[in-house]
Structure 1
Amino acid sequence: MADLLAGAGFAVLSAACLAVQSLTVRLGTKTHRVADVIAAMFGVNLLVLVPVTAFTAFPDYGLTPTAIAAFAVSGVLGSLLARFCYFHGIARLGASRAEPLKALFPVFATAIAVAALGERPTLTLAAGVGLLVLGGAVVAADSRATPATASGRRLWLDLVYPLAAALFLGIDPIFTKLGLAEGTAPLVGLTTRVIAAALGFLAYVAWHSHATGEWWRPRANRWLLGASVANTGYLVAYYAALDRAPVAVVTPLLGVSTLFVVLGAAVLLRRDERVTWRLGVAAVLVVAGAALVVRG
């Protein structure tokens, strides 16, 4: 029981960190590019995770070639591509609209499990997916109705970013589970995926700079640093939660970040975003849908 309560506490902490990350990214991208956010985030991630992992896991890190490859793929999907798409979604739509759409990743995870792994959906699972889809539809309808977002084709293109992030986050767990099945400790796996994602980001920056002839120098401000610290806190708390409590408990509590973001945007981002009652309804639908999907 003590481990379960501790795991639930870490899950709520990770949800709060996710919400802080989203809100500070929204403020940071008003003056800085998404690439600046990602660079700052990888810098803080590595500054914290590498020494902690090197010290706590020494001398046996439990990494096999299969584990390294699996965590590398999960890192590129979840820690690089998903971040890129999600942060662009925040910059274009606002945190209160991008977050519920990103939180639809259980829909993609379920679809992959059914199509690729042959899993049979239950009634509870189907109900959860239905609530998630309904929540996403409410966000899309709200985005069309508010003057705070783009309109027409531009709006639909903007909506693609958080939905793409949800897709990458839905695929990510397949490779994470493969890596953990090799016997690798969660903290080692997390650090391996972050290193792989950071290397992928550096490769992209080098290619882009060579192609355009413009050498990019990352910039940061207090909001980007705050988002980076919050993201690192989320990662550590999330893995600590999974180490103490089952996924069926951790994932629904993590989904509460959607409610935190909508409430936080209503209070802290009133000048930048228009938070409507429809977004509140969508957030509740998404949290309830995620809970049913995990239990289904």
Structure 2
Amino acid sequence: MQMILGQIFALLTALCWAQNSLIYSHLGRKTGSDAVTHIRLWLAVPVMLLVNYLFTGQLSPFSLPVQPLILILASGFFGFFVADLFLFRAFVEIGPREALVIMTTSPVFSLVFSWIFLGETLSLVKTAGILIILGGVIWVILEEKDGKNQGHGHSVRGVLYALLGALTQAIGLIFAKMGMMEGVHPVSTNFIRIIAGLAGLFIYSLIRKKVRSDFAAFRSIGNFLLLLFAVVVGPVLGIILSLYALNWAPVGIITTLMQVSPVLLLPVDIFVFRKKVSAGAILGTVLAVGGTTLLFLF
């Protein structure tokens, strides 16, 4: 039962990422991707303080043994600092859809790392399901419905940012899984990860002398409220769901399910933005859903 719940939570996480990719791409073009990456974690900390207290009865998440604490701090450094810096820059450089399709390489990195460090193995059928999901997602993203690329040109720099984001995201997830194997609550894990990521981003902004300008970018009430909404859905709700998922199912399966975000954006394109969706995009969606079914049933 926990295996199924883990996979459901991973799909809900993908839904959170789909929404966030649109908001962060929009705000990143208006205020700068580094400012978005930085300030969202300042908003996430007080929210997570409350959530951590409600779930664990403690305000501080740091009453842990040294080893899992170090692992979770490392997870936050890679996941919320390094990976998100690269990913948000990729959103601006090449657009959210293109960045997300490249980020589907994260499960490949995760599979290798989980095999090396966690001893996790996947059956042939589940491996096939992962490959089918990746194939479907890639097919959907590469379908240019309007004959354009949403105003973003492919750039070597943007592709590199997305690849580095995928690699460091996988590293962060492995560290998180290793830390939670010591019995750490997923909500406390997320709180510690956010604090570690914020520390890295704050130091990075100090070095760049951008702290004041990062905060100034969100003086607009519209930008602030949009970012706050994205924070609640992404770094708080989405990450908590992903950590529960990681705690209950293999890393390779969970990271793959979390990569279907671009596919989940198809209904938004059709029913909200009234965009014409090609047959190839629909077939890619069916392929991704078929791969997900393999993970659930076998």
Residue equivalent to 1:177: 177
Q: 1:139 to 1:168 in 2, by over 3 A?
A: farther
- SS of 2:169's equivalent in the other structure is helix
Residue equivalent to 1:24: 23
Q: How does 1:91-240 map to 2 (within 5 A)?
A: 91-114=92-115, 122-124=123-125, 126-128=127-129, 130-131=131-132, 134=135, 138=139, 146-148=148-150, 155-209=155-209, 216-218=213-215, 219-220=217-218, 221=223, 222-231=225-234, 232-240=236-244
Q: Is the 8 A contact 2:135 2:287 kept in 1?
A: yes
Residue equivalent to 2:67: 66
Q: 1:34 to 1:282 in 2, by over 3 A?
A: farther
Q: Is the 8 A contact 1:252 1:294 kept in 2?
A: no
CA distance in structure 1 between the aligned counterparts of 2:10 and 2:122, rounded to whole angstroms: 26
Q: How does 1:241-256 map to 2 (within 5 A)?
A: 246-247=249-250, 254-256=258-260
Q: 1:8 to 1:126 in 2, by over 3 A?
A: closer
CA distance in structure 2 between the aligned counterparts of 1:181 and 1:239, rounded to whole angstroms: 11
- SS of 1:18's equivalent in the other structure is helix
Q: Please, what TM-score do these two structures have when normalized by structure 2?
A: 0.75
- SS of 1:216's equivalent in the other structure is helix
CA distance in structure 2 between the aligned counterparts of 1:167 and 1:295, rounded to whole angstroms: 29
CA distance in structure 2 between the aligned counterparts of 1:85 and 1:286, rounded to whole angstroms: 26
Deviation for aligned residue 1:246: 3.9
Deviation for aligned residue 1:9: 5.8
Query: Mind listing any 5+ residue stretches in structure 2 that lack a counterpart?
Result: none
Q: Is the 8 A contact 2:18 2:265 kept in 1?
A: yes
Q: Is the 8 A contact 2:245 2:254 kept in 1?
A: yes
CA distance in structure 2 between the aligned counterparts of 1:256 and 1:95, rounded to whole angstroms: 13
Q: RMSD of the TM alignment (CA)? A: 3.9
Q: Is the 8 A contact 2:72 2:179 kept in 1?
A: yes
Q: 1:251 to 1:186 in 2, by over 3 A?
A: same
CA distance in structure 2 between the aligned counterparts of 1:84 and 1:252, rounded to whole angstroms: 21
Bigger Cα displacement from structure 2, 215-224 vs 181-190: 215-224
Which whole-Å deviations, capped at 9, do the CAs of 1:236-287 have from their partners, x for residues lacking one? 33345566x545886665444332234435555679xx97655555555556
Deviation for aligned residue 1:294: 9.1
Q: 1:281 to 1:135 in 2, by over 3 A?
A: same
Q: Structure 2: which amino acid aligns with 1:226?
A: F
Q: How does 1:2-21 map to 2 (within 5 A)?
A: 10-21=9-20
Query: Mind listing any 5+ residue stretches in structure 1 that lack a counterpart?
Result: none
- SS of 2:30's equivalent in the other structure is coil
CA distance in structure 1 between the aligned counterparts of 2:289 and 2:87, rounded to whole angstroms: 18
Q: Structure 2: which amino acid aligns with 1:109?
A: S
CA distance in structure 2 between the aligned counterparts of 1:278 and 1:117, rounded to whole angstroms: 37
